[in-house]
């Protein structure tokens, strides 16, 4: 779709258009699945959450470019530091963005659970 319909040449614009379209479609697929739990498409936070992930990936790519230009090429950071920084970024971003998806389902209360089974109430036989 990116190259044939929109006729975008290879490059950053095409890359991020593909990313956004994939996550947008995924968001709507999840939103339609949430209608089975009783949420309407307007109440679902799935599309907002998945589109936010595209923005997060774009921010991460920009930060990596700046970070690589300034620090990595000069040898100021270790691979472990970069990996830990990546985990911290992903953890913080998900902690910030995930409630937009889960909150609308959570406010319905315990009458309609997130999953059709409970990990907590599993009993050993």
* Terminal CA-CA length for the chain: 52
Q: What is the mean pLDDT of residues 95-110?
A: 78
**Predicted pLDDT of residue 96:** 92
**Predicted pLDDT of residue 23:** 94
Nearest to 39 by CA among 123, 118, 102: 102
- Given a cut of 70, is residue 34 above it in pLDDT? yes
- Given a cut of 90, is residue 57 above it in pLDDT? yes
Q: What is the mean pLDDT of residues 33-42?
A: 80
CA distance 14 to 17: 5
**Predicted pLDDT of residue 9:** 78
**Predicted pLDDT of residue 125:** 47
């Amino acid at each position: 779709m990116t190259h044939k319909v929109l006729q975008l040449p290879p490059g950053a614009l095409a890359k991020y258009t593909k990313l956004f379209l994939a996550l947008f479609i995924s968001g709507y697929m999840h939103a339609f699945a949430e209608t089975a739990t009783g949420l309407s498409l307007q109440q679902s936070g799935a599309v907002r959450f998945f589109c936010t992930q595209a923005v997060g990936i774009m921010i991460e790519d920009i930060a990596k470019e700046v970070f690589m230009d300034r620090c990595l090429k000069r040898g100021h950071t270790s691979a472990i530091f970069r990996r830990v920084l990546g985990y911290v970024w992903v953890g913080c971003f998900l902690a910030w963005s995930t409630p937009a998806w889960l909150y609308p389902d959570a406010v319905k209360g315990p009458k309609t659970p997130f999953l059709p089974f409970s990990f907590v109430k599993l009993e050993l036989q």
